[in-house]
Amino acid sequence: MTELTPPDLTRCQAEKPNGQGPFTLGGGHKMIRCQDTPKVIVTEREPGADGQVGSMALCGHCLEVFQTQKGTPNVFVKVIEED
């Protein structure tokens, strides 16, 4: 069983496109990690197929994208307290 990476409280853990498409010269389409400060921790409500419950830290914008693409019925969202 693969060990899960814990939520990173210093940087959003979402990956997003680097802005280059398949027809961009000299570059390539890649996914890069978001640089923003996380605002929430999203946690699965039930274990996945591997029997583990995953969680990750997301910034506000990436949370909106996540909710648009996946919805939130199977996850629990916890707001990160700021100092």
Distance CA 25, CA 21 (A): 9
Residue 83 has what pLDDT?
60
pLDDT (0 to 100) of residue 9: 93
List of residues 6+ apart from 42 with CB closer than 8 A = 55, 56, 57, 58, 63, 66, 75, 76, 77
- pLDDT score recorded for residue 30: 87
Strands across the sheet with 75-79, in order? 55-58, 40-44, 75-79
- pLDDT for 32 equals 94
Q: What is the pLDDT along the chain (83 residues), one digit of tens a residue?
A: 788 999 999 999 999 988 887 777 767 788 999 999 999 999 999 998 889 999 999 999 999 999 999 877 788 888 887 76
pLDDT (0 to 100) of residue 57:
95
